[in-house]
Every structure is written in C-alpha cells, then in structure tokens.
C-alpha cells in the first residue's frame, strides 16, 4: 500500500502541492489586500465597493452651535496601512455623514505616522449634541482629491522669495470649490504689496455682487461669480502677459471668461512680501495651487496627505507644512486657529463596511496584490519593504556593488534551485520541480524585487516541460 501511494503521488497530487506552495508565496507578500474580493461594481458610487469603515464621533459641549467647523481627530493610520486595510496615500477614503452619499470634507495628513492628525469638517453640530461620521475605505477605485477647507481662520503662506516675482508671462492656477456664495472679500492667492505692487486673485464684494477680481499692480480685471461654479471644483487660471491690448486674463476650466487691457508693462515685484493662499477666505476648499513663470513651473501644491504634516499643536493654534511638488522646494506653512475646547472625540475600531463587504476589482488589479503585479510585465515596481525577509536580503544586496534586480535574481534563484532539487528528489517530477524553483521568483515579482518577465519565462519553461512529459508518457 505504501509503495502504491508513492508511485501515484506525482501524477495525482502534484496540483495540491503546487497550490500549497502558491498559498505560501501569497502569505509572504504583505502587500496583499486583506479585504475579501467580491464582484461588486467597479467604482466609488456604491457602498459595496468599500471593504472597511471607521466611525468618528464628536460631542459638542462648547456652549455654542458649530457650522462648517473643522475638528481634529488622531487616527492610527499606519497600522491600517501595514495591514493592507487602507491605501498608503489615503486616496481610498470616502468620508460621509448621515448616509453613504452625504460626503463631507476631510484633510488627511501625516501619512507615515500611527497618530495621524486629520481635520474633518462638521457641517452642523448644535450645542449639547453629538454626530457620528463614517469613513469608508479599502476601495482601489476611489481616488479622492482632498484640500484645505478655509473658514476665515487659516493662514497658508510661503515667506518672501524672489522666485514668486513673476513680472511677465505669469500664470497661477487654483483649484477652488466655493461652498457658499455669500458676499466676502478675500484672496484666493496673492503676492501683493499695498497699494499697487504685485499680483493677486480675489473673491470680492463689488457693489454687493460676488466677483472674481484679478490684480496686476493697481489695475484690475473683474467678472461676476457664475452660479454654475458654486459647490463644484473649478480650475481658475490667472494670466498676465504684457502686450498691446488685452494682457490680463481669468480662465475657468481652461476657457477664458474675461480679458482686460491694463497697459501694465510688467508686474512690479512685491519685494519682502509673502506668497499667501486663501488669506481671509471663508466657506471654500482649495485643492491645488500652481505657479508658472514664463512657462516654467515655480511651485505646485496638491495638499496630498503624504505632503501635509502637523508640526505643533497648542490649542487653539495648529501649525504644519505643505510640501512643494515643484522643483524649487518652496514649501508652504499653515497656521490653523481652530479651538477644540469643549469637543469630545471618539475614534471607533475599524470594522467591515457590511456583512457582504468586498473590494472591487480595479481595472489594473492594483489593489489585489498591492502593486502593479500582472499589469505591465516590463514596468519597474516599487519594492515592498514590509515583505517577509526583506531586511536580510536588503542588507546583503547593499553590500554588493551590482544592480539590485540582478542580485535579487541570484539570491532568489539560489533558493529556487534548492526547492527544485528537493521537489525532484521526493517527487521525481520535472514540472513540479520547476514549479518549486519558481516560488522564490514569484515571491520576488509580487513584492517588486524582480520584473514580472522573469516569472513569465519560468511559466513558459514549466508549460514546456509539462507538455514534454505528457507527450513522453503518451508515446
């Protein structure tokens, strides 16, 4: 009976052994999503597309009603990222109140910290009452575009730098959502020195009409606020190019909406002044700002959670930095005056979004294995530093002056050769031995250490060997 079992094993049970090895490879890849995968409709518009939920509760004992008020929560973000429950860039979050579709604004920050300080804007919270907000996460289709909510108590700026002078051929883009169209006068951005030097773009009360007003020195260019621009993201562009005729322009979503002839030969540098964003602005969200001088990028701020971090927190004043995407490292600093006294805040434990929660398949399968595995065979994937055994391999590779993929191939190929010999010794089966040899290479490809085409070569070799064996047995 024992002899018969050994004889049958290679032909009858090698697939079960192969699946066992596959499970081992995936288990050793921490980038794998821990959400159950379902056949939910791809997208970010249905609750079933999200795996997890995190409930945030706040109770108001301030003595006054709150409206559109930012509240700070400390979130154990890094643990959720390490467990594959939340995207490392915080892009997969949908914050809501009173139902899945009632989205609220959230400024996530401090990506690399397990006590991240997030600002969630509460639409209304009467004194003595509490509200619970639900953050849905774990959906690779969601790509949220966060921004800073301005309530009139924020200062966001860069100190004086001549790179912001922009005397001619200047363009400044700002992605703005104005949530209320009540009259106010505030700067969307400015590099301005009173009374007539520099540039800025304001929302202004002009004869009781809410107006966009562009400045070039003492000259202005106005356009009344369009109701179609309210409660939606609009990319406004300020453009100045000295010329005969019109030289000062305001664009909305790439379309010119007003042009003015200022006769200004250039913009006079506002020497010694700051570059400010949203100074005095209320009831608005700014999601991106970019400055171009003579067609060259000076600075760009996207308010991505990876580039926004808190530095000090002494209630009611909170300060931090906003990193510049551009080439000049012109980082902004922020100062929020937002008292949190009288607010009791609770962060619940992470839970499944529903009993049938599951992650939707994205088009690129990015969220299935935590990288661009199986998407582009020739793409360079980032290395998963959380992978099992990474520290040991990384230390060895760093001590050898050779390309990292080559060293990974040598190390992992050595383990593969050992597995192949062991498998063949016990199974006397060439395809199964090749399958064992491929396990370390598969682990390396999934975790971004080897290009996927290495694994493709092994698959072709495996198929060829298996076909040759079957042909030989049938002959």
pLDDT tens-digit series, residues 174-210: 999 999 999 999 999 999 998 999 999 999 999 999 9
pLDDT in tens, 249-259: 999 999 999 99
Is it the case that residue 32 has pLDDT exceeding 70? no
> Percent of the chain, pLDDT > 90?
52
Give the CA count within 13 Å in the CB-facing half-sphere of 204.
Answer: 16
Listed range (219-233, 247-261, 438-452) with the worst mean pLDDT: 438-452
Residue 450, pLDDT above cutoff 60: yes
pLDDT higher than threshold 50 for residue 3: no
pLDDT per residue as tens digits for the range 127-152: 999 999 999 988 877 778 899 999 99
Q: Considering only residues 144 and 376, tell me which one the structure prediction assigns the higher pLDDT.
A: 144
- CA-nearest of 31, 331, 306 to 146 is 306
Task: Name the pTM for this structure.
Answer: 0.69
**Cα diameter, the chain:** 101
Confidence of residue 433 (pLDDT cuts 50, 70, 90): confident
Compute the average pLDDT of residues 465-470: 67
Q: How far apart are CA 348 and CA 31, in angstroms?
A: 25
The span from the CA of 265 to the CA of 247, in Å, is 9
Q: For 331-365, what is each residue's pLDDT tens digit?
A: 999 999 999 999 999 999 988 886 444 433 333 33
- The confidence band for 469, taking pLDDT boundaries of 50, 70 and 90, is low
Residue range 366-379: average pLDDT?
42
pLDDT, position 27: 45
**What is the reported pLDDT for 427?**
73
Predicted local confidence at residue 150, as pLDDT: 97
Angle among Cα 133, 134, 136 to the nearest 5 degrees reads 155
Average pLDDT taken over every residue of the chain: 82
Q: What is the 3-state secondary structure (H, E, C) of the chain?
A: CHHHHHHHHHHHCHHHHHHHHHHHHHHCCCCCCCCCECCCCCCCCCHHHCCEEEEEEEEECCCCCEEEEEEEEEECHHHHHHCCCCCCCCCCCEEECCCCCCECCEECCCCCCCCEEEEEEEEEECCCCEEEEEEEECCCCCCCCCCEEEECCEEEEECCCHHHCCCCCEEEEEEEEECCCCCCCEEEEEEEECCCEEEEEEEEEECCEEEEEEEECCEEEEEECCHHHECCCEEEEEEECCCCCCCEEEEECCEEEEEECCCCCCCCCCCCCCEEECCCCEEEEEEEEEEEECCEEEEEECCCHHHEEEEEEECCEEEEEECCCCCCCCCEEEEEECCCCCEEEEECCCEECCCCCCECCCCCCHHHHCCCCCCCCCCCCCCCCCCCCHHHHHHHHHCCCCCHHHHHHHHHHHHHHHHHHHHHHHHCCHHHHHHHHHHHHHHHHHCCCCCHHHHHHHHHHHHHHHHHHHHHHHC
Q: Is the pLDDT reported for residue 291 higher than 70?
A: yes
Higher pLDDT residue, 39 or 289? 289
Confidence band of 74 (pLDDT split at 50, 70, 90):
very high
User: Using one digit for the tens of pLDDT, what is the confidence trace for 307-325?
Assistant: 999 999 999 999 999 999 9
């Amino acid at each position: 009976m024992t002899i018969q079992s050994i004889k049958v094993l290679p032909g009858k049970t090698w697939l079960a052994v192969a699946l066992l090895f596959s499970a081992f490879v995936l288990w050793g890849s921490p980038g794998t999503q821990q959400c159950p995968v379902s056949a939910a409709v791809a997208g970010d518009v249905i609750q079933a597309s999200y795996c997890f939920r995190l409930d945030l509760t706040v109770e108001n004992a301030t003595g006054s009603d709150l409206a559109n008020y930012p509240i700070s929560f400390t979130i154990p973000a890094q643990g959720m990222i390490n467990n594959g429950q939340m995207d490392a860039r915080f892009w997969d979050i949908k914050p809501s109140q009173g139902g899945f579709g009632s989205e609220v604004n959230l400024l996530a920050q401090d990506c690399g910290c397990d006590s991240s300080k997030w600002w969630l804007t509460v639409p209304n919270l009467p004194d003595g009452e509490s509200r619970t907000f639900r953050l849905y996460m774990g959906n690779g289709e969601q790509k949220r575009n966060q921004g800073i909510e301005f309530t009139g108590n924020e200062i966001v700026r860069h100190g004086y730098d001549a790179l912001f002078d922009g005397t001619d051929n200047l363009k400044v883009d700002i992605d703005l959502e104005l949530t209320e169209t009540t009259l106010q006068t505030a700067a969307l951005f400015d590099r301005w020195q009173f009374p007539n030097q520099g540039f800025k773009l304001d929302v202004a009360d002009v004869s009781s009409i809410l107006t966009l007003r562009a400045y070039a020195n003492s000259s202005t260019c106005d356009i009344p606020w369009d109701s179609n621009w309210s409660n939606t993201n609009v990319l406004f562009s300020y453009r100045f190019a000295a010329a005969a005729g019109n030289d000062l322009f305001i664009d909305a979503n790439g379309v010119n909406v007003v042009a003015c002839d200022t006769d200004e030969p250039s913009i006079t540098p506002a020497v010694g002044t700051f570059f400010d964003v949203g100074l005095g602005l209320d009831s608005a969200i700014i999601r991106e700002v970019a400055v171009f001088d003579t067609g060259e990028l000076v600075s760009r701020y996207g308010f991505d959670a990876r580039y926004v971090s808190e530095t000090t927190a002494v209630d009611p004043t909170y300060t931090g930095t906003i990193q510049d995407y551009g080439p000049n490292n012109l980082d902004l600093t922020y100062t929020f005056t937002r008292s949190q006294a009288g607010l009791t805040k609770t962060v619940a434990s992470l839970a499944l979004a529903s009993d049938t929660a599951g992650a939707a398949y994205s088009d690129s399968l990015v969220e299935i294995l935590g990288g661009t595995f199986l998407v582009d065979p020739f793409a360079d994937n980032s290395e998963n530093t959380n992978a099992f055994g990474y520290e040991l391999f990384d230390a060895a590779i760093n001590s050898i002056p050779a390309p990292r993929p080559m060293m990974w191939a040598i190390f992992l190929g050595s383990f593969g050769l050992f597995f192949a010999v062991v498998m063949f010794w016990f199974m006397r089966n060439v395809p199964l031995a090749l399958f064992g040899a491929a396990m370390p290479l598969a682990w390396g490809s999934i975790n971004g250490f080897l290009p996927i085409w290495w694994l493709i070569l092994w698959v072709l070799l495996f198929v060829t060997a298996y076909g040759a064996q079957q042909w030989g047995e049938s002959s």
